[in-house]
Structure 1
Amino acid sequence: MKILITGANGFIGQNLITSLHNLPAGWNSGFDVEEKLYLMEYDMESSPKLLEEYTKECDFVFHLAGVNRPKNSDEFMEGNAGLTESLLNHLKNNHNKAPVLITSSIQAELDNAYGISKKVAEEMVLQYGKENGVQTFVYRLPNVFGKWCRPNYNSVVATFAFQIARDIPITIHDSAHKMQLVYIDDVITEFLLALTGKEHRAQSFCYIPTTYETTVGEIAHFLHSFRQSRNNIQIPCMEENSLEKKLYSTYLSYLPENMFSYALNAHIDARGSFTELFRSADRGQVSVNITKPGIIKGNHWHHTKTEKFVVISGHGVIRLRKIQDSNVIEYFVDGEKPEVIDIPPGYTHQIVNNGSSDLITVIWCSECYDPNHPDTYFLEI
């Protein structure tokens, strides 16, 4: 299968090509990707002769190339409608009825130079399909965001993420301005469905099923919160298909390469250390506890708060006792054989390092620590 991709060096093109190169074998009813998938990459800088050659043999066309930031408005029609016309003429002259997928824009509904040029390109593709019995896919995309999108170009998300990651002030003219967003991975997933004949379609147009309605102010709020999360160690909402999750992934892709790491606040004393790693609004917190040899930590219980202990290095014993009983429960733990020890409410508990090296324990707690409401009560085992 030979796939022609115009706009190969662009934001969507790069993501599509990467995904096509990494498709698992059998992704399409036994389709052998490594042996049968061949990509023909074409971009605005490519020789026009190359487009003519590619259209002789391609089996499917992803027409992603276009112009959205020209030096003058005349280039809109040339770069969007003109290139589309050239592509379709080559296919027709070569008697190639390969399906054609084109990325248009929701601005095709607006009366501006860019929108008009995209609408003309849409109509060309739809008319070409009708006249030549060719399957066509026309996607009017909203604002696409995700990794590899150019900041200060055509995406407010990319621009804001780039600036906020570098502590550069952003400019917002209207925080209540409404925006429709679509995530790049959702776009690519849909394009792969189109490639296999399983596209989402409403009459003549195709669409991405997952989109987001938001405002410029909300986008800025999320991105600022991601920067602040390095100080408050809050993990953003990671619910499936949440806008926050996808914006967070995008934000991280714009971090300067010398800023991937950041320090944590370790509480260190003669007994060892305790360091909070992550907090979440509804999933509690994760910490790492280091206990020096011969040291006992804990000897407290909780009313509602629960914990999970996992020793990942060293040897020790975890003891629990129901606060009304005298019976002590012991779990001997070993970092070479990790296991989870649940700490129920109403059980006082301690961890003892009976080895010769540091005992390192990862602790999940059902609540983020609040010094005003600690729900922690001292009681010896």
Structure 2
Amino acid sequence: MSELIPRQEGAAILVGVDFGLPHFDGELEELGLLAETAGLTPVARIVCKRKAPDAALFVGSGKADEIKALAEMHRASEVIFDQTISPAQQRNLERQLDVAVYDRTFLILEIFAQRARSHEGKLQVELARLQYLSTRLVRRWSHLERQTGGAGVRGGPGEKQIELDRRMIGESIKRTRERLAKVQKQRGTQRRQRERRETYNISLVGYTNAGKSSIFNALVKARAYAADQLFATLDTTTRNLYLGDARRQVSISDTVGFIRDLPHGLVDAFKATLQEAVDADLLIHVVDASNPHHPEQMAEVQSVLKDIGADAVPQLVVFNKIDALESVQRPLHLVDDMEIDGTRVPRVFLSAHTGEGVPALRAELAQRSGSLSAQDMTLAQDAELHDAAD
């Protein structure tokens, strides 16, 4: 009998399977960032090619043995797959590898659970986690395998306990949905109040870590949490923004970042948060200009916007982080336009870190915010008097 190998807590093996899809991340760079954001330490990475997933082990028995040897070599305690794996595949892999096995969806859910701060955000994450968990009952509870029947009682191992746990999770999902519906109703009331005031609404959207919160802070001088990490912001933050060139007040919201293969449960659960984008008069689509994969990231954002019904909202594209570009990559002009899905949209290049290009963005927002309402005129005059007094 071989000795048990002491595992290093949080050490993770990253696994990617190339099925020939164009967005495959051969370096597993994004999965590594997700793992680090969740508090794990990637110690090794392994990729392989397949035409289709193996029904039992997703990667096949030979590659599974290779992953097991790698996990033993690095004393890894977890194996993370870059794709979504089925409950049965997850269970089979854990038995084969003798370590905990998770997928990309679970990792994103864990990060969201760690980062949610508002009551609504916590409810949304809890709903998504419960929905994900409800499909993993066959794997997560070892006590489900115990025999429940006695003499003269028909039934397989754990049958009654599985039904009990499934019912408990179902009831938790129902309660969470009811609580979330109340919060969404309150948010809807707030939106209607803004509509009655004829407020011009702007929402920041974009791939995670593109710098939305940094731009938000630069525009409104707020202190929204911003960091060079994935999903630094989960809860929508809304502030008033005074645009001097237009002499009007607008409302601007910072929303959760998007990511490739965002779990459908999270898209559904975050309908209230993403509703800010649907109801906006203008979307500021923030792009990380320094990321070589930014075209694919933009396409992913456009896909999610279409899923939530916000693809028809006018956009202003902002290429952020130009301070991180080489001199030959820097734009000749800070303002131009580009084509998205057959439509020409304005584009602004800037650096939220240095402030370069931020005045150009403010000017573009002033131009697109339209004429002043009577209330906005009063707010603008008050703001000018306040600035003069200072």
Coarse TM-score class (shorter-chain normalised): under 0.3
Q: Give the structure with the higher percent helix.
A: 2
Q: Give the structure with the higher percent strand.
A: 1
Q: Which has the larger radius of gyration?
A: 1
Normalised by the length of structure 2, the TM-score is 0.27
Instruction: Work out which structure has the larger RCO, using CA pairs closer than 8 Å and 6 or more positions apart in sequence.
Output: 2
